[in-house]
Structure 1
């Protein structure tokens, strides 16, 4: 859960700065979608959390 909360904070911060600088492109759409999936408890949140956890574990193993 610590990873999920920190990712929500990270996505929220990035989205805030993207919206503030008015650079809304494909990257901003990805950040907004990621923020929404982590923030909301939808059916898609669990697979995204699993994917994120796997990526974090893989990155820590490098």
Structure 2
């Protein structure tokens, strides 16, 4: 759960800076956010969560 919240915060921060520097339009940000919410309600949500968890666990910590 903590990983998911951290990734949501990270992606939200990236989206904020893209909007602030006008690299991304408000319409495209709305579509990207909507896509994320709809994707989360499909069967693809669990494999995506497993994949991101595996990637994070593969990062060596010292």
Number of aligned residue pairs: 55
Match of 2:13 in 1: 13
Displacement of 1:61: 6.1
- Aligned equivalents of 2:20, 2:45: Cα separation in 1: 26
TM-score normalised per structure 1 = 0.65
Which structure: larger Rg?
2
CA RMSD of aligned residues (A): 3.1
Displacement of 1:17: 0.6
TM-score normalised per structure 2 = 0.65
Structure 2, unpaired ranges of 5+:
none
Higher relative contact order (CA 8 A, sep 6+): 1
- Aligned equivalents of 2:15, 2:6: Cα separation in 1: 14
